[in-house]
Amino acid sequence: MEKGKRIEKEKRNIGKFIRNIIIVLIALGLVAFILAKAPDYAVPRHEGMRLIINNRNVTNSDSLKEDVLIENGIIYLSKADIANFFDKYLYYDQKYNQYITTSNTKEASIVIGENKMKVNGTSYPIKGTIIKRDDKIYFPISEMNQVYDIAIQQIQATNTITIDSLDREQIQAQTTKKLAVKYKAKVLSGTVDKIDANANVVWISDNNGWVRVRTENGKIGYIQEKDLTNKKTVRSAKTETDPFKGQKVSLVWDYYSEFAQTPDRRETKIEGINVVSPSFFSLKQLGKGDLVDKAGEAGMQYRNWAKENGYQIWAMVSNESRIETTTEVLNDYQLRQNLISNIMKAVEIYQLDGINMDFENMYQSDKEMYSRLIIELYPRLREKGIKLSVDVTAPDGSETWSLCFNRNAIANNADYIVFMAYDQNTAKSTKAGTTAGYNWVKTNVDKFLGQEGVAKNKLILGIPFYTRIWTENAAGELTDPKTKTVDMKDVDSLIPANITKTWNEDLRQYYVEFADGNNKKRMWIEDEKSIQEKLLLARDYDLAGVAFWEKDREKDDVWKIVQNIILNK
């Protein structure tokens, strides 16, 4: 009897033990499930103002550097956040105690402490101004909507501010019933907002039957696509027209000095190009940003000829290597603005399609200030639909010839950056050499696309229509004059009839040398074959196009090669 009771008790204890184990396992399973699913349920919380920029919650993403401020109804963003979200080239101008900011089509300046803002040369009153709080600079973003082309909304009910770029597409839809907006694209997920039937939502993206939306409360979450209707585009993305209709750029510079008249091209047809760049304007010596207008009435005729032949006309603006005039203009905002204003007037007078900036021989210390000029000029031109191209040299070289360019900043603030891929050996060189060897050109194109961070669709390869002939004495020393420039069209006339050209595969040029009395002549030739190799390089790298220095130095046959390789006609 006692033994039976003991056995029964032991069975009950074993049963309890097993039940306890099962309960513990279930509890552990539930904990594991909750831990696994917690990210779907736990909606992040934020104390203070939430900021949504282009349907992205930058508050929760840690992208926001400082809190948003609201004072006297004005919404303020910190300098760090303006630079992060709107203008990484935001610039403080110490001379005039102002900040300069740019967007796609606007250049604006705000003097600290003043309730006005100058936008693309016109002054406007603003309710707020730049302020300092806790040693941090803040900008009145709600007063700068026209600068950045944005719409700003403050939603007090949810302590949220939304900022939308008006150049981006926006799609909206309506709900078919009352809904809980989910934190994740899952039925079993936390709720970020509850909305009524027929509520409008911004359609951000869709995937696998779920739509990421933004509600009227500024909340971002997910709704099943079946619960949405009346999807429509309420704002289309702004796009720029392509004047070349998918073709590459093929530009020829048409250079003449201040003391010559614009060439008469009315009887000329150039089959291999779609852009001409005449040297219409130059920086006036000590002119405080004024231009020398070299175009005049002949320039009007040139413009008409270009348009009749379907060429874009990108007028050159040169500093004529005037280093002191250049540094004065670059280092003064008011003088930069005067130059920009003069360029814009010229664009209107001559009905130009583009501007080609050709500033050379600048101080290395002016490197960033030249970038400032380009940064401030670009939006003014873009507002009018005018293309901007900027000429630069190879990345490595002397201070005033090469190290004076920030190629990355220039490329980011222009339609095109033009690599003047010539003068590998200049008239000042101490040894004879080629003007533009293929291997040198290719190496530097790689540098543009690599270390300089220039996108291939921004890079135009400049190609010379000239070379140099060098003279050496018996000791192999360069004589005086040691070299002279030879136009491509004149090369053959300088080579004696009994001299054989030798092809150099590295340079992809023909080379000749021959006696001239007690001296020796040496020349690395630019001809149709060497030009073709450079054109193929631009095509193989899928660059934006090519440019040629300069018109009237070429052989006529070269244009057919350009046409076949670059324009594919």
More confident residue, 30 or 148: 148
The rounded mean pLDDT for the chain is 94
In this structure, what DSSP letter does residue 431 have?
Answer: S
3-state secondary structure of 437: coil
- The per-residue pLDDT for range 263-279, each reduced to its tens digit, is 999 999 999 999 999 99
Per-residue pLDDT reduced to its tens digit, 234-262: 999 999 899 999 999 999 999 999 889 99
Decide if 177 contacts 146 (C-beta within 8 A): no
The tens digit of pLDDT for each residue in 117-158 reads 999 999 999 999 999 999 999 999 999 999 999 999 999 999
Query: What are the tokens at 5?
Result: 């009771």
As a whole number of angstroms, the distance between CA 64 and CA 50 comes to: 10
Compute the distance between CA of residue 459 and CA of residue 453 in angstroms, rounded to an integer. Answer: 11
Q: Which residue do the tokens 């900043």 mark?
A: 409
CB–CB of 215/193 below 8 Å?
yes
* pLDDT computed for residue 34 by the predictor: 52
Helix 438-449 crosses helix 528-540 at what angle (to 10 degrees)? Answer: 20
Phi, psi of 516 (to 5 degrees): -140, 85
Say yes or no to pLDDT of 98 above 80. Answer: yes
Overall average pLDDT of the 533-546 stretch: 98
239: CB partners within 8 A, 6+ apart: none
Residue 357: closest CA among 382, 403, 320: 320
Segment 400-455, tens digit of pLDDT: 999 999 999 999 999 999 999 999 999 999 999 999 999 999 999 999 999 999 99
Q: How far is CA 98 from the centre of its chain?
A: 24
> Given a cut of 50, is residue 345 above it in pLDDT?
yes
Q: How far is CA 393 from CA 108, 124, 362, 422, 546, in A?
A: 30, 40, 12, 8, 15
Instruction: Answer yes or no: is pLDDT of 2 > 90.
Output: no
Task: With cut-offs at 50, 70 and 90, classify the pLDDT of residue 35.
Answer: very low
Q: Which residue is associated with the tokens 């303006």?
A: 82
For residue 320, what pLDDT is reported?
Answer: 96
Q: Are 354 and 317 in contact (CB under 8 A)?
A: no
Count Cβ atoms below 10 Å from residue 491 Cβ, excluding itself.
Answer: 20
Res. 569: pLDDT tops 90: no
Q: Is residue 1's pLDDT more than 60?
A: no
**Residue that has been written with the tokens 């049963």 in this structure:** 15
Taking the C-alpha atoms of residue 220 and residue 213, their distance in angstroms, rounded to an integer, is 6
Please state, in angstroms and as integers, the Cα–Cα distance from residue 204 to each residue in 61, 329, 425, 427, 462, following that order.
17, 46, 55, 59, 43
Q: How far is CA 194 from CA 178, 217, 222, 520, in A?
A: 7, 10, 11, 88
| Cα-only R_g, the chain | 33
What per-residue confidence (pLDDT) applies to 30? 59
User: From CA 281, how far away is CA 300, in angstroms rounded?
Assistant: 13
CA distance 414 to 411: 5
Answer yes or no: is pLDDT of 337 > 70. Answer: yes
Q: Could you read off the pLDDT of 450-482 as tens digits, one per residue?
A: 999 999 999 999 999 999 999 999 999 999 899
Mean pLDDT for the stretch of residues 556-569: 93
Share of the chain above pLDDT 70, in %: 93
Higher pLDDT, 212 or 16: 212
In the predicted model, is pLDDT for residue 36 greater than 60? no
What is the DSSP secondary-structure string of 373-395? HHHHHHHHHHHTT-EEEEEE--S
Strand partners, 515: 520
In contact, 411 and 417? CB cutoff 8 Å: yes
Q: How far is CA 243 from CA 274, 353, 437, 514, in A?
A: 10, 9, 32, 48
Mean pLDDT of 314-340: 98
Give me the pLDDT at residue 37, please: 52
Residue 520 to residues 84, 188, 249, 429, 490, Cα–Cα distance (Å): 60, 87, 40, 17, 19
> Distances in Å between the alpha carbon of 306 and those of 279, 292, 350, 544?
14, 22, 12, 21
Using pLDDT thresholds of 50, 70 and 90, give the confidence band for residue 39.
low
At position 297, the amino acid (one-letter code) is E
The two structure tokens encoding residue 66: 């400082």
> Is residue 363 within 8 Å of 321, Cβ to Cβ?
no
Give residue 60's pLDDT band: very low, low, confident or very high (50, 70, 90): confident
Contact 87, 101 (CB under 8 A): yes
Domains of the chain: 50-152 (3.30.457.10), 169-235 (2.30.30.40), 249-464+527-567 (3.20.20.80)
Q: What is the pLDDT of residues 354-408, one digit of tens each?
A: 999 999 999 999 999 999 999 999 999 999 999 999 999 999 889 999 999 999 9
For tokens 């508050």, the residue is 59
Is 217:280 a contact under the CB 8 Å cutoff?
no
